[in-house]
Amino acid sequence: MTACASRWLIVFAAIDLQKLGFSQEFVRSSAANFYRIVFIIALVEWTTVARMVRASTLSLMTREFVLAARTQGASARHILSVHVLPNTTSPIIVALSLAVGQIILLESTLSFLGLGIQPPTPSWGNMLNNAQELISRAPALALYPDLLIFVTVIAVNFLGDGLQDAFDPRAESH
C-alpha cells in the first residue's frame, strides 16, 4: 500500500459519522465501527486486485490461443469463459491472498491508532494498544497479538501460493 493510500485510510477513519447524518446510537454501536472499517478497506484495497485482474486479462487477450479461438469464430463469452478465466484464476488467487494479509494489517493498524474497531470488541490492534501501558511488566501482552498477526498473514500467503499451484493450468502435473 502506498503512503498516499495510508493517508486516505486514516482520513476516512477519522470522519465523524454523526456529521454525515447517522444517529448517535448507531455511531456508538460496535456495528458502526465494523461497517466503517469494512467500507474504508474496501474503498482503498479493491484497486490492487482490479489492476492485477485487468492486466492479466489484457495480457491473455493478445495470446495466440485466444487469437486462434477468435479466428475460428468463438464468441466473446466463450473466449472469456474457456480461455481467459481459467488462466486468470491463479493471478486472482494470489492477488486476493495478498489483499487479505494487507487487510489484516490495515485493520490492526487502525485499531491500534484508535480509529478502527473500538473496545470492548476484540481486535489485535486493540490488544496491542492496551499492551503499551503494561509492556515492561507483561511483555507477552504485546508479543502474542504481534505473533498472531504475523502467523496469520504468513499462513494466508502460503494458502494463496498453494491455491495458485493447484489452480494454475500451466503447472506441470506430477
The C-alpha cell of 114 is what? 484508535
The C-alpha cell of 146 is what? 504481534
pTM, two decimal places: 0.75
| pLDDT at position 36 | 82
- Rounded Cα distance, 109 and 28, in Å: 20
| pLDDT at position 114 | 84
Task: Give me the mean pLDDT over the 61-84 stretch.
Answer: 92
pLDDT tens-place string over residues 74-94: 999 999 999 998 888 888 888
Amino acid at 62: T
DSSP 63: S
CA end-to-end span of the chain:
37
- Rounded Cα distance, 112 and 151, in Å: 18
Answer whether CATH 1.10.3720.10 is correct for domain 3-167. Answer: yes
- Average pLDDT of the chain, as a whole number: 85
The full set of domain ranges for the chain reads 3-167
